[in-house]
């Protein structure tokens, strides 16, 4: 890799572009830290569904960064790791030091979004061109070129701007004490009867743990001393993840689907034991804008099969608008635009069954009049 262009901001607000000189390259090379790649030699999973760069030689987390990018991120992560000592030296207690460090550690992860070779340069007809971060979709593609941002630019990829942006969410945090526990949903239980709400993995649509390594390696470098229980492994834990990603099941789609259905049958059966009798279980699942073909039927049928197997019944559904029209594949495509909340309760032992044809007849008979009652029209 080498520097190919320099972007210059003019006094009138416009921008100019010029070829990089030898002096520019030497200045960049001097910023390279010898320890930049320490802890980043985590291999990328060769999953052709969501990580496409491995066959081209981008095989580890470190491979996704240029030398200057590694220097910036490792420097930030190491400085964040030293924050607890500085906070306590200034009079802050341990809880305050942990909170501040955690917040800044998450900001380092945000910096990685716009500080890797996954950063794209977007040309806009009505505004300045700009850099855009990784994960426009839930994948790591092979990028043939990229935009390199500057951490003190006052624009995309700026450290102060990133932290400031994150602080805007703090006023919306409710006061009180919350508790987060990392546990297997197939076996864990609530200490008291509760409302159970879950947004389960979408079958094979997203390789959650594999993609999480992109952030995990930076969070670990910054936060492993304040959260040793969360960062005890070099990479995000991947065992027992309830997804139907074939690469984790010897490449077999059938094995992956069976694992997913059995896993969620066990999960829904276990979660029922934590449900309050007066409250339903809420299950959020993604819906595409139109019929998505065999793959989409498999995703929906798998989660519904698990619900039926766990003796749950769906008593209501609610759509939630979840994705804007400006997403990367937003126009004229069969992409996720809404999520469905399924309201579930334990199926009564006295419940009867019916055939698909009987269900369709009842649906045609009852849906029309019910819709007219809920949406009266003057005639």
236/287: higher pLDDT:
236
The 10s digit of each residue's pLDDT in 89-121 is 999 999 999 999 999 999 999 999 999 999 999
Structure tokens at 25: 């390259």
Q: Does the model's pTM come out above 0.85?
A: no
For residue 32, the model assigns a pLDDT of 56
Structural domain total, the chain: 1
Starting from the edge strand earliest in sequence, which strands make up the sheet with 336-346, in order? 196-198, 281-288, 336-346, 312-321
What confidence tens digit (pLDDT) does each residue in 129-168 have? 889 999 988 899 999 999 999 999 888 999 999 999 999 9
Cα–Cα distance list, 135 to 1, 127, 155, 161, 180 (Å): 22, 22, 19, 19, 26
**Which pLDDT score is estimated for 379?**
47
196 within a domain of the structure (yes/no): yes
* Statement: residue 207 has pLDDT above 70: yes
Q: What percent of the chain has pLDDT over 90?
A: 53
Q: What pLDDT digit, counting tens, does each position of 16-44 carry?
A: 888 988 888 776 665 554 455 567 889 99
Residue 26 belongs to a domain: no
Distance of CA 220 to the CA centre of its chain: 17
Structure confidence at residue 33 (pLDDT): 47
**Assigned domain for 74 exists:** yes
Average pLDDT, the chain: 86
Give the domain range for residue 39.
Answer: 31-169+184-374
Is residue 3 assigned to a domain? no
Domain membership of residue 9 (yes or no) is no
Query: Does 59 map to a domain?
Result: yes
| pLDDT surpassing 60 at residue 325 | no
Please report whether residue 216 resides in a domain.
Answer: yes
- 315 inside domain: yes
- 260 has pLDDT over 60: yes
């Amino acid at each position: 890799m080498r520097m190919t262009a320099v972007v210059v901001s003019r006094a009138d607000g416009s921008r100019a572009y010029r070829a990089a000189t030898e002096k520019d390259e030497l200045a960049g090379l001097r910023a390279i830290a010898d320890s930049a790649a320490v802890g980043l030699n985590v291999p990328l999973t060769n999953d052709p569904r969501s990580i496409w760069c491995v066959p081209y030689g981008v095989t580890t987390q470190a491979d996704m960064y240029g030398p200057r990018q590694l220097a910036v991120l490792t420097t930030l992560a190491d400085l964040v790791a030293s924050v607890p000592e500085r906070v306590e030296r200034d009079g802050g207690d341990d809880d305050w030091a942990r909170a501040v460090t955690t917040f800044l550690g998450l900001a380092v992860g945000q910096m990685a979004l716009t500080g890797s070779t996954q950063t794209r340069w977007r040309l806009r007809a009505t505004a300045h061109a700009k850099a855009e971060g990784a994960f426009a979709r839930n994948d790591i593609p092979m990028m043939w070129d990229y935009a390199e941002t500057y951490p003190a630019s006052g624009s995309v990829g700026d450290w102060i701007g990133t932290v400031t942006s994150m602080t805007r969410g703090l006023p919306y945090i409710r006061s009180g004490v919350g508790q987060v526990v990392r546990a297997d949903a197939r076996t864990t239980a609530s200490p008291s009867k509760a409302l159970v709400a879950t947004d389960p993995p979408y079958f094979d649509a997203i390789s959650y743990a594999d993609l999480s390594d992109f952030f995990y390696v930076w969070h670990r470098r910054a936060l492993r001393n304040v959260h040793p229980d969360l960062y005890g492994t070099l990479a995000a834990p991947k065992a027992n993840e309830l997804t139907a990603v074939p690469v984790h099941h010897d490449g077999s789609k059938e094995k992956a689907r069976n694992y997913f259905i059995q896993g969620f049958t066990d999960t829904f059966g276990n979660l029922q034991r934590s449900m309050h009798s007066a409250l339903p279980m809420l299950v959020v699942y993604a819906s595409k804008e139109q019929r998505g073909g065999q793959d989409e039927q498999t995703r929906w049928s798998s989660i519904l099969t698990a619900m039926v197997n766990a003796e749950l019944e769906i008593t209501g559904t609610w759509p939630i608008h979840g994705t804007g029209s400006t997403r990367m594949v937003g126009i004229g495509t069969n992409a996720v635009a809404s999520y469905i909340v399924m309201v579930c309760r334990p199926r009564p032992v006295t419940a009867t069954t019916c055939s698909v044809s009987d269900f369709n007849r009842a649906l045609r008979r009852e849906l029309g009049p019910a819709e007219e009652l809920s949406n009266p029209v003057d005639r």
